[in-house]
Amino acid sequence: MTQKQEQLSKNQQIVLSIIEKAKGPLKAYSILYNVQKKGIKAPLQVYRALEKLIEIGKIHKIESKNAFIVCKNSDCEISKATAFSICEKCEVVDEVSNVKLSNYLSKFNDKKGMKFKRFNLEFFGLCKRCKIK
């Protein structure tokens, strides 16, 4: 009987729950400070948990910010197709869930004969709130 549902380890659970509670992306060392009371003492423990959580699609890394955010789309086809909107002023980040966009990019083919397995897209601009001000 194959275990389909990945079982998270203790550290993985701790790190995930911090990221889930956060309103926006968290940086690795900010996560570290937040979990030190729970027994996680070293950066590596955080980074290892992050690595696994990304791998199984529970969280994503916002590359332009070196920060980590929970996946809001039931695990994004295991992180193969990710898109985010990022406000350049207030830094609010939101995961873009648009099937058309996702399909368009997933089907996109390079002229050079390269077959893409994965993409990450980051949009930048001003969010509704910041536009008004």
Q: Least CB distance from residue 44 to a copy of itself, whole Å?
A: 19
Q: How many residues bind DNA (CB under 7 A)?
A: 23
From the list 116, 118, 108, 114, the residue with the least C-alpha distance to 83 is 118
Among residues 37, 107, 114, 133, which is the contact residue for a copy of itself, using CB under 8 A?
114
Nearer to Zn ion, 40 or 59 (CB): 59
- Binding-site partner at residue 122 among DNA, Zn ion, a copy of itself, none, CB < 5 to 8 Å by type: a copy of itself
- Binding-site partner at residue 104 among Zn ion, a copy of itself, DNA, none, CB < 5 to 8 Å by type: a copy of itself
Q: Does 75 bind DNA (CB under 7 A)?
A: no
Q: What are the angstrom distances between the C-alpha of 76 and each of 21, 56, 95, 124?
A: 19, 9, 10, 21
Q: For residue 83, what are the contacts with CB-CB under 8 A and spacing of at least 6?
A: 95, 96, 98, 101, 102, 105, 120, 121, 122, 123
